[in-house]
């Protein structure tokens, strides 16, 4: 089975695709798997990790929503993966590499979404979730041993956002798919929350991208495929790019900066700042596994808080700062 897929990679994939048998490898060499390629192994390691499971209780945009239908960081990750795989398949790129990068790209994201990221950045002077995602897979996951992923997957995770571009086209696909996913599903969630209406989106945007989440995603994905096929870069038309940028500006104006969102952000900020201050004064409360890779309290407290789900952060805050029920039997 593995040999057949390696032949498929060799004979069918685009000349610009990354072959698994040409990987730059892992930091720690391991015996080859008789059934799976190296990128397939990376995908499986990510899916089975604790960091991946925690994404189901991490905020995407809306903090502690009352409805089960709002996106979490996990469902965002799955939507990014679906979009990225579609683009990679149509461009004859390596779907396994694309999938592994997409599944791992947000493993280092904080509780309470980008609010948590901003809090840790303000406290420490530098925190970026893409860098933390790389730190998770290299050092923190599996009780401080890391997942020992291939170089290409780690490169794609690190560079899915930030100033540097990924070294593979598969990584570039995930980078643009992340933006396609969050813009469109955040619109959908904002409509569900009653913050905006579909009719609030300008006619100029919808003339290019279409009306409705599925139509917009399909339009953008098709545009990228049509403009990138047979090329050594992932690009879209200027018209589509401009429409996406206008949609992004609309979302920052009407949703991400909305007063209702800011109120919840303030609560989350106070909670995380209070927890960080508490752990600085009560070092023994930080699990020892986070101290394996650093002697700097700011570093390992950051690692500990960044991995928390929303629920766990709230639980720790209640444990340390909220009155507990007194059981007279104890």
With cut-offs at 50, 70 and 90, classify the pLDDT of residue 327. Answer: low
pLDDT tens-digit readout, 187-217: 988 898 888 999 999 999 999 999 988 999 9
Residues of the chain above pLDDT 90, percent: 84
The confidence band for 69, taking pLDDT boundaries of 50, 70 and 90, is confident
Confidence band, pLDDT 50/70/90 cuts, at residue 268? very high
Place 65 in a pLDDT band, splitting at 50, 70 and 90: low
64 pLDDT tier (thresholds 50, 70, 90): low
Whether pLDDT at 259 is above 60: no
Q: Pseudo-torsion of CA 106, 108, 110, 111, nearest 10°?
A: 70
Range with lowest mean pLDDT among 16-25, 122-131, 237-246, 249-258: 249-258
Residue 66, pLDDT score: 56
Q: What is the mean pLDDT of residues 251-265?
A: 78
Answer yes or no: is 182 within a domain.
yes
What is residue 201's predicted lDDT score, i.e. its pLDDT?
96
∠ CA 198-202-204 to the nearest 5 degrees?
A: 130
pLDDT above 60 for 161: yes
| pLDDT for 119 beyond 70 | yes
The CB density around residue 87, as the number of other CB atoms within 10 Å, is 26
- For residue 59, the cross-strand partners are 72
The average pLDDT across 88-104 equals 98
Does 328 score more than 70 pLDDT? no
Kindly indicate the confidence band of residue 285, based on its pLDDT and cuts at 50, 70 and 90. very high
* pLDDT one-digit tens code per residue, 53-63: 999 999 877 66
Angle at 162 between CA 161 and CA 166, to 5 degrees: 65
Give the 3-state secondary structure of residue 59: strand
Calpha distance 256→36 (Å, rounded): 41
- Please report the sign of the dihedral spanned by the C-alpha atoms of residue 206, residue 255, residue 106, residue 139: positive
- Give the residue from 329, 303, 314, 233 showing the smallest Cα distance to 51: 303
pTM of the model: 0.95
* pLDDT at residue 10 in the model: 96
Report yes or no on 126 lying in a domain: yes
**pLDDT at residue 324 above 90?**
no
Please state the rounded mean pLDDT for residues 130-147.
Answer: 96
**20 lies in some domain:** yes
In a domain, 328, yes or no: no
**Nearest alpha carbon to residue 17 among 165, 170, 176, 154:** 170
Helix (H, G, I), strand (E, B) or coil at 195: coil
Contact predicate 114/255, CB 8 Å: no
DSSP H helices, 69-212, are 73-90, 95-104, 113-124, 129-135, 141-144, 151-158, 169-192, 203-209
Q: Per-residue pLDDT for 322 more than 80? A: yes
- The CATH number given to whatever domain includes residue 305 is 1.10.3210.10
Q: Which residue has the higher pLDDT, 66 or 21?
A: 21
Q: What is the mean pLDDT of the chain?
A: 93
Question: Residue 113: pLDDT above 80?
Answer: yes
Residue 258 has pLDDT above 80, yes or no: no
Domain-located, residue 23: yes
Task: Tell me, yes or no, whether 74 lies in a domain.
Answer: yes
- Domain with 271, as residue range(s), is 2-319
Q: What is the pLDDT of residues 15-40, one digit of tens each?
A: 999 999 999 999 999 999 999 999 99
Total count of domains within the chain: 1
Mean pLDDT of 151-172: 97
């Amino acid at each position: 089975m593995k040999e057949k897929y390696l032949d498929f990679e060799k004979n069918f994939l685009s000349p610009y695709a990354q072959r698994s048998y040409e990987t730059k490898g892992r930091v720690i060499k391991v015996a080859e798997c008789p059934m799976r390629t190296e990128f397939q192994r990376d995908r499986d390691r990510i899916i089975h990790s604790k960091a991946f499971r925690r994404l189901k209780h991490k905020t995407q945009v809306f903090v502690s929503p009352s409805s089960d239908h709002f996106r979490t960081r996990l469902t965002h990750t799955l939507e990014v993966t679906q979009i990225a795989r579609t683009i990679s398949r149509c461009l004859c790129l390596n779907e396994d590499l694309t999938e592994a990068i997409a599944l791992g790209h947000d493993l280092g994201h904080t509780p309470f979404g980008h609010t948590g990221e901003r809090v840790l950045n303000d406290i420490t002077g530098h925190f970026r979730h893409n860098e933390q995602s790389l730190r998770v897979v290299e050092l923190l996951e599996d009780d401080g041993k890391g997942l020992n992923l291939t170089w290409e997957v780690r490169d794609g995770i690190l560079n899915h956002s930030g100033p540097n571009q990924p070294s593979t086209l598969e990584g570039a696909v995930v980078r643009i798919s992340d933006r396609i996913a969050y813009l469109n599903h955040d619109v959908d969630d904002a409509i569900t929350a009653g913050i905006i209406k579909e009719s609030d989106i300008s006619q100029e945007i919808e003339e290019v991208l279409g009306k409705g989440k599925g139509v917009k995603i399909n339009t953008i994905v098709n545009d990228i495929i049509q403009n990138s096929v047979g090329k050594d870069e992932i690009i879209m038309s200027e018209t589509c790019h401009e429409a996406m940028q206008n949609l992004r500006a609309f979302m920052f104006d009407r949703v991400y900066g909305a007063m209702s969102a800011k109120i919840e952000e303030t609560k989350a900020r106070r909670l995380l700042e209070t927890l960080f201050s508490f752990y600085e004064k009560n070092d023994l409360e930080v699990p020892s596994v986070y101290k394996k890779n650093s002697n700097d309290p700011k570093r390992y407290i950051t690692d500990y808080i960044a991995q928390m789900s929303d629920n766990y952060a709230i639980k720790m805050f209640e444990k340390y700062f909220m009155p507990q029920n007194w059981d007279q039997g104890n």
